[in-house]
Amino acid sequence: MKRLSALTVVAYSVLFFLFAPLFIMIVSSFGENAAIQFPIEGFSLKWYVNAFSNQSFMDSFLLSLWIALSATLAAILVGVPAAYSLARHQYPFKSAIRDFFLSPTLIPGIVVGFSLFKFIVIQCQLDLLLGLFLGHFLISLPYVIRVVGSNLDQLDFSMEEAAWTLGASKIRTFIEIILPNIRSGIFASFMLAFINSFNNIPVSQFLSGPGVTLLPTQLMGYIEYNYDPTVSAISVLLMALTVVIMILIEKTLGLSKVM
């Protein structure tokens, strides 16, 4: 019992240190004072009004949303077939190819950001928007391959082979049998890739430019000169947005019926 009690205390301590900063941030976003403090003095929504009225924040938010969604969708379209191929077939250097796909998650973010800046902006001289899309696609792809690949490793491919025997084409079998059985993995990989892309700082910092700035970079610049609860308000809104997106995707994919 003493051991169980000690483990319980440790568990509650971990939960406290995980959620206390979030709780303080949420509460501080409703304070009246022009400083992030806890407990707050008075209740106000002016920091949320400030967040929505700041055109730079709105522009960078919409751009971040577009980049994250488009890059993540592209990663899904490329990553799911790639993960299927890696799980289903045997060919030379398979392990090396898998490691290559996952390499952006193993390399420090600042190295990835600088490398992409060197290649996309300096070497290829691509448009900043295209550069941001490609950069975020590359950092999103490993999450899709890793999560969907783990899902596929547990899948019984005898169903697919039975469908082939009955005359179904490989494309139809993939769409009607494989995809429905891995949609929970697709959902999880989408969320991980989207959140990582939307919140990414190193790649966004290196590939941003005049008039093309993503929200994390915009917030970093704002905090440098203004340390007020506007940042807390934006953080709360982003958490709420993440929850809404998760619910919408879950309802769209019908995961509540299969999980």
The pLDDT tens digits for 122-139 are 777 777 788 888 888 988
Q: Does residue 251 carry a pLDDT above 80?
A: no
CB 140 within 8 A of CB 193: yes
Measured CA to CA, the distance from residue 206 to residue 217 in angstroms comes to 10
- Binned at pLDDT 50, 70 and 90, residue 256 comes out as very low
Q: Which two tokens stand for residue 82?
A: 């790639």
Q: Which range has the top average pLDDT, 130-139, 167-176, 239-248? A: 130-139
Q: Does residue 246 carry a pLDDT above 80?
A: no
Average of pLDDT values for 66-82? 90
**38 conformational bin, left if phi > 0, alpha if psi -120 to 50, beta if neither:** beta
Encode pLDDT of 209-234 as tens digits. 777 788 888 887 777 777 777 788 88
Q: Does residue 238 carry a pLDDT above 60?
A: yes
* Better-scored residue on pLDDT, 212 or 6: 212
Q: Does residue 24 carry a pLDDT above 80?
A: no
Measured CA to CA, the distance from residue 232 to residue 250 in angstroms comes to 27
Q: Is 212 helix (H, G, I), strand (E, B) or coil?
A: strand
CB 203 within 8 A of CB 135: yes
Q: Is 209 helix (H, G, I), strand (E, B) or coil?
A: strand
Q: Does residue 2 carry a pLDDT above 50?
A: no
- ω into residue 142 within 30 of 0, thus cis? no
Encode pLDDT of 188-210 as tens digits. 888 888 888 888 888 888 777 77
From 46-55, 80-89, 244-253, the region with the lowest mean pLDDT: 244-253
pLDDT > 90: percent of the chain: 3
- Binned at pLDDT 50, 70 and 90, residue 72 comes out as very high
Task: Please tell me the pTM assigned to this model.
Answer: 0.77
Q: Which residues are paired to 212 by β-bridges?
A: 209
pLDDT at 59: 85
